Amino acid sequence: MSSTSATTPGSRGRVTLTPPDELLLSLLAGGLLVTAWLGERHLGFPAPVWQPLYVLTYMAGGWYASLNAIRTALRGRFDIHFLMVIAALGAAVLGEFAEGGLLLFLFSLGHALEHRALGHARRAITSMQNLVPDKALVLRDGMEKSVPASSLLIDELIIVRPGERLPADGVVTAGDSTVDQAPITGESVPVSKHPGSEVYAGTINGDGSLQVRTTRLPEDTTLARVIRTVEEARKGKAPSQRFAERFTRWFAPLAMGLALLVIFVPPVFGAELSDSFRRGMVLLVAMSPCALALSAPAAVLTGIARAARSGVLVKGGAALEQSGTIDTVVLDKTGTLTHGRPRVVTIQAVAGDETRLLRLAAAVERRSAHPLASAVVLAAEEQGISMLNASEVSSVTGQGVHGIVEGIPVLIGGPRLLAHNRITVPEALVRQKAGLEAEGKTVSLVAADGQALGLLAFQDTLRPAAAHMVRELHAAGIGQVILLTGDNAQAADFIGRAAGVDRIIADALPEDKVAAVLELQSRGARVAMVGDGVNDAPALATANLGVAMGGAGTDVALETADMVLMADDLSRLPFALALGRALRRTIAANLVISLGVIAILAPSAVFGLAGIGVAIVLHEGSTLVVIGNALRLLGFRRARERSLPAGQQALPGQHLP
């Protein structure tokens, strides 16, 4: 439990008073309890000796419980701490000093161990804050200078020597090396970096020296945004957490009321008050919902930590818990099933020459962020074509882009865009387009000044992990894996068959993707939509779980989705869904344990079948079992991974054979 400090003014400054450590106080209470019990029961100590030891036991074991009980009581509420303190004092009134001391000792010990254990899970997340070095080596005016990393600006040139951590996000301008990106993306294999490659703060440089131009301020790096997102996720509450909180909020007063009934009603009918009082105190212990209150929060916290360590960024416990309910996965094509880096493979002109067609197309596409636009510009650069300037460039969602180049209107897109602008497509061009699409290529038509000029054909490649990922999803119980894309049917069919999906929906505009998700949900499906976080944003928001690919360096991905696969690694998707299911199983088991103990102990207390010692041991034992069960998620691996020999188990970012 983190300590808070109080300061008091003094004649020579301020004196800091630090509250005692909760675990040390608990262990002190345990030592005093054993000494007092031995002195009373076995060593024949006189009462003036062992009674003060019990008093000290109560003070040490009940210190924090009493403070919390007083705070909540002053606000008009009864909580777990209040029940424990009242039960311990009741035991003392009955003369059962040892039992009351044991209750406070075990309660304080369980509380201290709870904070230590959950602190371990929190450190698995917050340790990311220590990944960025304090200093950065900056190149200014041809001179190298060491400056605080927190003072770096955009467009600074920094030098990263072999073995050092990168202090900022940026682009490599000189040097070749490999960089361990596991702290950000979960990839286990270092990634090659060369001029033009993106690098991220907190990652570890390999054997080569790199010169990097910074692209983000320290507070806006990918690592900083990940840390902020995870911190916000910790504050968010999953449905199971909200249920546990609502339950314990009214359960503690109910326990207090039932205990009072057990104490005062039986004597009305002739029962001994002392016996009724004893049963009431046992009931207070039995019905204290300590384990119940921890059932969900402990599991959610460790689940978020485990996901973050594996390159899966989760936007809160609700998203992680939701992932465990998914039975249908919908996948975008470009950038999800494929690499998202298509290249121009065919240029066909029907009016003019291919160079003019490519020059006009590249002029317009330079102003677009679409993956196909980048491919057009790259093709023009590779052919040494001089770039023209375009104006009034705008995109038509799901259809294409248009602009003005040297006074000539230029359109690039599908048949719908050209038809809307009353441009006739020659029959020969239509046949060429159909033939290329039958080969799995994506085709864009190019028109200028009201006339069709020709076409550009693009081809993207399937990710190596895509087909394996689809098989893993089926093996994990996902009923349907669907490819949903705005691309043409032939290209979608080519990629979909190679990946092994169950169903293909092509030629889908953003609103069509939303409609497809809603249609699946109307049939009772629990849908996870996986996309790039930009074009698929409406569908990501509509699905039960929105999953974005490649959060490292992608601002929109970190903002739009419930879950982000940081390394662009599809193998993390089955892992994330399996982790969600494991989380739900863990929470369910914790609820069964905590409610089961209450269900057994409460009637036993009322009918006098269990003494306060038995109630204490079972109650506190269930709390520790719940915490331990939740912490098992930190070591979670899928069943497929667990079945492999140790040397063959996949590390984060690797693909299983």
Complete DSSP assignment for 29-77: HHHHHHHHHHHHHTS---HHHHHHHHHHHHHHHTHHHHHHHHHHHHTT-
Q: Poorest-confidence range of 56-70, 83-97, 572-586?
A: 83-97
Q: Which residues pair with 504 in a beta bridge?
A: 483
Q: Which residues pair with 452 in a beta bridge?
A: 447
Phi/psi for 358 (5° steps) reads: -70, -35
Strand intervals (E) in 215-368: 312-314, 328-331, 343-349
Residue 478: what pLDDT?
Answer: 93
Question: Residue 490: pLDDT above 60?
Answer: yes
Between β-strands 143-148 and 157-160, what pairing exists: parallel, antiparallel or unpaired?
Answer: unpaired
Residue 136: what pLDDT?
Answer: 92
The whole-angstrom separation of Cα 400 and Cα 379 is 18
What are the CA-CA distances from residue 408 to residues 364, 374, 416, 423, 450 (Å)?
A: 11, 22, 20, 14, 9
Token readout for 639 is 């069943």
Quick count: other Cβ atoms within 10 Å of Cβ 645?
Answer: 6
Look up residue 286 and give its amino acid: A
- For the full predicted model, state whether its pTM sits above 0.75: no
Q: Which of 169, 332, 487, 536 is catalytic?
A: 332
Residue 269: what pLDDT?
Answer: 87
Phi/psi for 10 (5° steps) reads: -130, 175
Residue with tokens 């060369």: 194
Question: Residue 232: pLDDT above 70?
Answer: no
Return the closest-CA partner of residue 445 out of 437, 453, 506: 453
pLDDT band at 94 (very low <50, low <70, confident <90, very high): confident
Question: Residue 234: pLDDT above 70?
Answer: no
Question: Residue 66: pLDDT above 70?
Answer: yes
Percent of the chain with pLDDT over 90: 24
What are the CA-CA distances from residue 91 to residues 54, 95, 195, 326, 575 (Å)?
A: 12, 6, 73, 50, 50
The whole-angstrom separation of Cα 476 and Cα 469 is 10
Strand intervals (E) in 194-262: 198-199, 204-205, 210-214
Residue 240: what pLDDT?
Answer: 67
Q: What is the pLDDT of residues 25-49, one digit of tens each?
A: 888 988 998 998 888 888 888 888 8
Give the full edge-to-edge strand order of the sheet including 408-413.
Answer: 343-349, 451-459, 442-448, 408-413, 400-405, 390-396
- Print the SS3 string covering 363-417: HHHCCCCCHHHHHHHHHHHHCCCCCCCEEEEEEECCCEEEEEECCEEEEEECHHH
The dihedral through the CA atoms of 23, 635, 234, 558 has a sign that is: positive
Residue with tokens 């345990």: 30
Quick count: other Cβ atoms within 10 Å of Cβ 16?
Answer: 9
Coil, helix or strand at residue 497: helix
Question: Residue 4: pLDDT above 50?
Answer: no
> Which of 232-241, 321-330, 486-495, 566-575 holds the top average pLDDT?
321-330
Token readout for 418 is 């050209």
Residue 239: what pLDDT?
Answer: 67
Q: Which residues pair with 483 in a beta bridge?
A: 331, 504
Residue 653: what pLDDT?
Answer: 33
Residue 124: what pLDDT?
Answer: 54
Compute the radius of gyration of the chain from its Cα atoms.
32
The dihedral through the CA atoms of 615, 618, 621, 627 has a sign that is: negative
Question: Residue 644: pLDDT above 60?
Answer: no
Residue with tokens 């490659």: 197
Q: What is the pLDDT of residues 429-465, one digit of tens each?
A: 999 998 888 887 889 999 998 899 999 998 887 888 8
Segment 592-611 shows an average pLDDT of 88
Return the closest-CA partner of residue 380 out of 364, 369, 399, 393: 364
Q: What is the mean pLDDT of the chain?
A: 81
Q: Poorest-confidence range of 133-147, 330-344, 384-398, 542-556?
A: 542-556
Identify the structural domains of the chain with CATH numbers, from first to last: 133-220 (2.70.150.10), 312-335+464-574 (3.40.50.1000), 343-459 (3.40.1110.10)
* CB distance 258 to 264 below 8 Å: no
Q: What is the pLDDT of residues 215-228, one digit of tens each?
A: 999 888 877 877 77
Token readout for 437 is 């699409």
- Orientation of helix 97-126 relative to helix 612-631, angle to 10°: 10
* CB distance 303 to 633 below 8 Å: yes
Return the closest-CA partner of residue 391 out of 378, 408, 379: 408
Question: Residue 11: pLDDT above 50?
Answer: no
Residue 6: what pLDDT?
Answer: 38
* Residue of higher predicted confidence among 95 and 384: 384
pLDDT band at 206 (very low <50, low <70, confident <90, very high): confident
Residue 376: what pLDDT?
Answer: 92
Return the closest-CA partner of residue 310 out of 167, 553, 125: 125
The dihedral through the CA atoms of 267, 268, 271, 276 has a sign that is: negative
Query: What element of type H or E holds 273?
Result: helix 273-287
Q: What is the pLDDT of residues 502-535, one digit of tens each?
A: 999 988 877 788 899 999 999 999 999 998 755 6
* CB distance 4 to 19 below 8 Å: yes
pLDDT band at 499 (very low <50, low <70, confident <90, very high): very high
| Whether residue 332 lies in the annotated active site | yes
Residue 325: what pLDDT?
Answer: 92
Q: Which residues pair with 400 in a beta bridge?
A: 396, 413
Maximum alpha-carbon separation in the chain: 112
Token readout for 602 is 């409460």
175 CA to centre of own chain: 34
* Residue of higher predicted confidence among 454 and 656: 454
- Give the DSSP letter of residue 213: E
Return the closest-CA partner of residue 449 out of 365, 358, 351: 351
Q: What is the pLDDT of residues 286-334, one digit of tens each?
A: 887 778 777 888 888 888 888 888 888 888 778 888 899 999 999 988 7
